Amino acid sequence: MRSENKESANPPTPEEYHASFTASATHIEEVRAIHAKVMRNTGLVAETHLSQIAPSRIIEWLADELNGVSDANGIRLPLMGLAPDDVDISVSTDNGISSLKLSLGDHIERVVPLPIGVSSVSTEWSDGNLEIKFLSDSS
């Protein structure tokens, strides 16, 4: 009997298994997108950890939900059907975390954490768009 000396291949690492699964599981990104949409539509963000470490992401969701845009300096929201009197904006601080409360008409209200270092906002109406500018603590 002849003995063959075969080298056994190293089994994949857990990281390689995970990377392979993630690359072939396109449904995961769809689930993430649907989850984000549900969270935006309900105005709730269950992931308090996310809200603490990435408040800008929640602001992006708010802007996206209302067909607006956001950047590091603030948010621009198209509110063509509302008058300035229909909009209420306030900033509150709880345990050192500033939050923006946005009330639109009688039915839409959102509260989102402001980026770190932002303690207040300024607002301006321009051609039916509401511009909310973030003001830093040093302003």
pTM for this model (two decimals): 0.60
Long-range residue pairs from 93-98, CB within 8 A, at least 24 positions apart, any chain: 93/119, 97/52
- Binned average pLDDT, 10 residues per bin, the chain of 139 residues: 56 85 80 78 58 72 89 91 90 85 89 85 91 82
Label the pairing between strands 129-136 and 74-78.
antiparallel
What is the per-residue pLDDT for 82?
Answer: 87
Q: Round to whole Å and give the CA distance between 57 and 101.
A: 16
What is the per-residue pLDDT for 8?
Answer: 56
In order of their start, the domains of the chain are 43-136 (2.60.40.790)
Smallest CA-to-CA distance from 102 within 86, 118, 125, 117 is with 86
What is the per-residue pLDDT for 139?
Answer: 54
What is the per-residue pLDDT for 10?
Answer: 82
